[in-house]
Structure 1
């Protein structure tokens, strides 16, 4: 649980920042800490439902369940399970996720933490070579890379505690997709080619992905009969169908056959955690977002509350971008040192998300010049993998769900225990397996994120609600550590009044303290803006920059956004134009009886 930091500890955190030089800058009034002005209107209902998702078959699954009388939470189970079938590249029953839910009638928000947990046999020494270096192969590929999955338990928990329909009805579309198959799309074919060498080491994985003798090819029908049977067991027996009994034995046997050490207690002991979401005010919006073990909500609170001291809409693009970059820099510095699983370490959430702490950080920003990251004390911070997925839902009654789920790398660990169809994650790589030493993605961490039995690794997933008297937005995206800054830019777009599709399409840029560079998508900065940022001292890494040879990816993420305009009672969905199989749909739907 989250604990209040003693006043003396608060002072120790705040004082070093307040002693840094304060530069001439615009006024920076401390934002009000009243919880925001975005109060719900319980009697109002949209009368339609909207789902924004990165694969149209998952969107169809959600609407199928809504049409059967389900609510947003039943639809979330259906969409999540369907994605576990059609997007093995990004998520699945062998992974985990975060479910941010809002019940319209009660006004209650809840955060369902289904992050994976470390098995009992895992410890930092297991992942080191004889000379003490991180063995990245163990952390990324095969049985020791896999943490205990959390997504199946979340599907059961959400259905039993928040849905209207039996779990079997919500899982029916996913079962059908796994049994009957779906057409392979380009990203799935490309992703398999990138991970083929690892995946084809394991007989259970070969049986799924080479069932026809060849790797998946675009347009071919991809069937997963073992996964269909696993989903049927989950539908029939709930938690026990996955974490105990015959399927659990197959999972353990498959991991142990490859040299891992999962136990029956590891699986049977898994539990989701319900946590209180983080909430804070940003210029009249109440923002509701992910608490630890997500790092995203804390960072989002810091960045938005730093930026609340300026009316960004009145600033020229160069100054607005500069200030946004500087807020990113400071939030990512704190992310590295203070955040971890709150069930295992003390996380000073109240301090890090305080508007007064944000005011102290704001005072260190020079509007005319970039702050060198080495002036903010510490060691380099992480760059995490990008393969994750997100969806957003509002139903006809106004219930809403923002869900981000993952297996970490492309196709996770690459290991499918034979007879299960379950592709296991490689979330052990998200722990600080060697303090101060980066993994393959540049991730560095410290004791707060060190592995322990049953502990959840730190995540960047940031499912978020934004609520004002006039509008409600549900948003999120995949993208590793860039998730946090993409959600920030999306939130700023919502606050600027952009519609859902415009928010999903916003250009993206990112600064994460260390390395001290600003990366951006193609076209995010025009030549004039790039020149002005460089003149302020920012080092830019752009796809257009062919000199450095280290340009960033041309596009990032996969933002999925739903916005309810309560003034005209209109729903709109926005799906990322970077994704060729996405689907955002609004459909008429019956309200609850």
Structure 2
């Protein structure tokens, strides 16, 4: 059963359900990330005596170099941390913020329509980056090694280069035509003006200089001084609105995670401005009375899709930056509210989304090309982190001399009431553009703790992140390990468009026909989605398992033997 848990009850649950966990860690460490070179960077730091939080900084920075399509120093993210010695969890919010000069209608043309090119391509599309500030914050508050040591692997990779893999090549094909607008940007990521061959080496010496300034000067090395000047001047020269004051004023936020319980497991997951934790909690609460394991495939998918539909409707209605929007968290996570939603659900028939109409004065939106890693050290410290620049390669623009790709997270705001963003998510006033505001996200880094096992799970995938993590959690609770979670066939419903979308081959023809008989529209996608990474700890044996999504071959998952 899911419920909002106050601080006293959280302590009692921890004492009763996981007391044994705090006594002894797993004696080894495990990392799963979307690039084997980033996983190696984290293992290098663990080998040097760093803890999970040190390793998380190294992995994050390395991903910023070798996976620029998905994250970077010009982006942001959420780092969900669990410190075993105190049994304390916190979400470090390094989400980007809107520049001070941003306005609600900044992406509308003269006819009042959204100019999608301005919203996603080039300098005007970027929010103020939060990732470097989060790295410094985590290193200084939770780590044990100097920042210069944690960033050393990433600096090496930027200077010496990394080989192009299939994911890099596929996604730069998607964005190359935009990147070619800025020759200095294309020179880094499209050497010779061509999409590089798999195995070709990409070097980014300007990014190495930027990272070295951060390593030597801490926060000031990025948010003030020469690096900040180059970033701001480059963005302004290309039509953007960043200022040095925006950089000086950026602050990391620490937020209390969303905590719920389901069938004897405690979930610790992302809080707003992520919509993921609340949505996952709602979906689990809605389906809690039902025997999912005993259902037919069609009935199970139908029930979960109906829960997804209702949670995404509420996501649109109520969620945004908690520093700007009054979010009714207690109501959304209450048993009574879920029971009310459950009364609108029929097991024999799909509920059209139009019958769950949202008040257009309150609707909100979201984000995607993204990355995730899961990490645990030998003391039981945990990091589940999801990082992003939004679309592949962000805005496809790097201010000259920085090597930093600007994000295009401003598209995660609602540029116009009711207008879908790049991922089909609609938005209204709760997620409207305001100076200093953090845009809503679906990133859902999650930790699940039971009496005998702990899971660390998350994935990229834009609006589908939430449902992928939901399916992974259910698979873990069903008794399966990370190889199973990351490989599961995926299906998704997000309220609008009113359809169940599935990966090709995820459901058989009979199940699809049964769902259509219930009134669902089922859309089979040719492309897979997500890139999930999971770590699991067996408390009794101390065994660790780590797995990366087989959909992309570039991932790296290791169990690290420590001296």
Q: CA deviation at 1:202?
A: 1.5
Q: CA deviation at 1:353?
A: 1.5
Tell whether 2:447 aligns with 1:469.
no
Equivalence for 2:390? 408
Tell whether 2:555 aligns with 1:573.
no
Of residues 569, 574, 585, the one that matches 2:558 is: 585
Q: CA deviation at 1:384?
A: 5.8
| Normalised TM-score (structure 1) | 0.91
Of residues 23, 26, 42, the one that matches 1:46 is: 26
Of residues 302, 310, 315, the one that matches 2:295 is: 315
Counterparts of 2:215 and 2:466 in 1: how far apart (Å)?
34
Of residues 386, 394, 402, the one that matches 1:420 is: 402
Equivalence for 1:522? 504
Counterparts of 1:383 and 1:238 in 2: how far apart (Å)?
33
Q: CA deviation at 1:472?
A: 0.4
Counterparts of 1:162 and 1:313 in 2: how far apart (Å)?
40
Q: Contact 2:100–2:436 (CA<8 Å) still a contact in 1?
A: yes
Of residues 507, 521, 531, the one that matches 1:558 is: 531
Tell whether 2:425 aligns with 1:443.
yes
Tell whether 2:351 aligns with 1:371.
yes
Q: CA deviation at 1:45?
A: 1.1
Q: CA deviation at 1:455?
A: 0.4
Q: Contact 2:139–2:147 (CA<8 Å) still a contact in 1?
A: yes
| Normalised TM-score (structure 2) | 0.95
Secondary structure at the residue paired with 1:371? Answer: coil
Tell whether 2:142 aligns with 1:169.
no
Of residues 412, 437, 448, the one that matches 1:455 is: 437
Equivalence for 2:331? 351
Equivalence for 1:94? 74
Counterparts of 2:17 and 2:441 in 1: how far apart (Å)?
27
Equivalence for 2:414? 432
Counterparts of 2:18 and 2:344 in 1: how far apart (Å)?
33
Uncovered stretches (5+) of structure 2, i.e. residues with no partner: none
Secondary structure at the residue paired with 1:127? Answer: coil
Of residues 251, 271, 277, the one that matches 2:257 is: 277
Equivalent residue runs for 1:122-137 within 5 Å: 122-137=102-117
Worse-matched range after superposition: 354-363 or 501-510: 354-363
Q: CA deviation at 1:319?
A: 1.7
Q: Contact 2:367–2:409 (CA<8 Å) still a contact in 1?
A: no
Equivalence for 2:489? 507
> Residue by residue, what CA displacement relative to the aligned partner does 1:164-207 show, whole Å, maximum 9, x if unpaired?
10011111110100000111112212222211121111243133
Q: Contact 2:3–2:260 (CA<8 Å) still a contact in 1?
A: no
Q: CA deviation at 1:386?
A: 3.9
Secondary structure at the residue paired with 1:421? Answer: coil
Uncovered stretches (5+) of structure 1, i.e. residues with no partner: 1-28, 543-551
1:362/1:38 CA distance change after superposition, 3 Å: farther
> Residue by residue, what CA displacement relative to the aligned partner does 1:556-579 show, whole Å, maximum 9, x if unpaired?
100100010112221101111101
Q: Contact 2:365–2:414 (CA<8 Å) still a contact in 1?
A: no
Q: CA deviation at 1:444?
A: 1.4
Secondary structure at the residue paired with 2:560? Answer: strand
Tell whether 2:487 aligns with 1:487.
no
1:336/1:124 CA distance change after superposition, 3 Å: same
Q: Contact 2:28–2:559 (CA<8 Å) still a contact in 1?
A: yes
Counterparts of 2:87 and 2:328 in 1: how far apart (Å)?
27
Of residues 217, 226, 237, the one that matches 1:246 is: 226
Secondary structure at the residue paired with 1:42? Answer: helix
Q: Contact 1:383–1:481 (CA<8 Å) still a contact in 2?
A: no
Q: CA deviation at 1:60?
A: 0.4
Aligned length: 553
> Residue by residue, what CA displacement relative to the aligned partner does 1:427-481 show, whole Å, maximum 9, x if unpaired?
0000011111223432311111011111000000000000111110000000000
Counterparts of 2:336 and 2:217 in 1: how far apart (Å)?
49
Secondary structure at the residue paired with 1:126? Answer: coil
Q: CA deviation at 1:379?
A: 7.0
Please report the RMSD computed on the Cα atoms of aligned residues, expressed in angstroms: 1.7
Of residues 113, 119, 135, the one that matches 2:93 is: 113
1:317/1:236 CA distance change after superposition, 3 Å: same
Counterparts of 2:225 and 2:495 in 1: how far apart (Å)?
47
Tell whether 2:338 aligns with 1:338.
no
Q: Contact 2:2–2:261 (CA<8 Å) still a contact in 1?
A: no
Counterparts of 1:388 and 1:58 in 2: how far apart (Å)?
15
Worse-matched range after superposition: 455-464 or 384-393: 384-393
Q: Contact 1:290–1:463 (CA<8 Å) still a contact in 2?
A: yes
